[in-house]
Amino acid sequence: MKIHPTAIVDPGAQLGADVEIGPFSVVGPQAMIGNKSIVHTHVVIEGNVVIGTGNFIGQGAIIGTPPQDLSFSPERKTKVEIGNDNVIREYCTIHRGSPDGSVTKIGDKNFLMAGAHLGHNCEIGNNVVIANNCLLAGHVRVDDAAFLGGGSTFHQHMHVGRLVMVQGSSAFGKDLPPFVIAAERNSVFGVNMIGLRRAGFSAQDRDEIRTAFKLVYLSGLNISQALEKAAAMNFGAPAREFLDFVGNAKKRGVCPLKRGEANDVSI
């Protein structure tokens, strides 16, 4: 264990083997930091925060502070849980949950670039990239291997599906189904075919996802009609994942397709 003399680490904090705490960082009494994690300089970790093994937390990051929720009261017992092998770069902010007993949760092997904000009760999967200055409001869920482009914003309670690719400086208030390319304001532009190939999806699975996409977005049917037609078709698990997501997105609905030359190739 390596703790810089200027760091303030509460005696109640639990630090694993080979943990490093950098200059002027503050670690509160309820913090648990797993083996081989590095906390850089001027980091603040407060409240009930559990951090796994092999994480890197960059300069000025703030983790576990109270949520930006006017209904929150300090006596609530909420927390942040962070998995293993994550990179959390400079000045990221990660707030703990708001409802009593709730959690803001980050999985494994995620990369949060400088200035990203995760509001209370966000749930981030594994292998997610959240680029610089992305803003996630409360209760946003991001599934595995999604890529959120820099400066993008995400409304509370929305859901970003697996392997979604989001262009920078975009804004969303509706759900983004898995495997899509999204940009601008609440717009889907096509299927993330390059991402699917890189992730090892078979040619058949890629074709079925594209067929399901066209059924939902290009058939002229409404969502209920498209899903009813899809139920009688022979789709594998990935295409079914796309269709099930669309069918379950009832609170906000899914982002619509924006037609044009820019997305014809990916569809």
Residues 78 and 103: their CA atoms lie apart, in Å, by 6
pLDDT digits over 203-225, tens only? 999 999 999 999 999 999 999 99
Query: Does residue 267 carry a pLDDT above 60?
Result: yes
Residue 14 bridge partners (DSSP): 32
Query: Does residue 119 carry a pLDDT above 70?
Result: yes
- The pTM score is 0.97
CATH of 2-157, one of 2.160.10.10, 3.40.50.2020, 3.10.290.20, 3.10.20.30: 2.160.10.10
Most distant CA pair in the chain: distance in Å? 66
263 pLDDT tier (thresholds 50, 70, 90): low
Token pair of 151, please?
């400066």
What are the residue ranges of CATH 1.20.1180.10 in the chain? 201-263
Query: Does residue 6 carry a pLDDT above 70?
Result: yes
Residues 6+ apart with CB under 8 A from 113: 89, 129, 130, 131, 132, 134, 150
What CATH fold (topology level) applies to the domain 201-263? Answer: Udp N-acetylglucosamine O-acyltransferase; Domain 2 (1.20.1180)
What are the residue ranges of CATH 2.160.10.10 in the chain? 2-157
Q: What is the mean pLDDT of residues 89-102?
A: 98
Residues 6+ apart with CB under 8 A from 168: 131, 149, 150, 151, 152
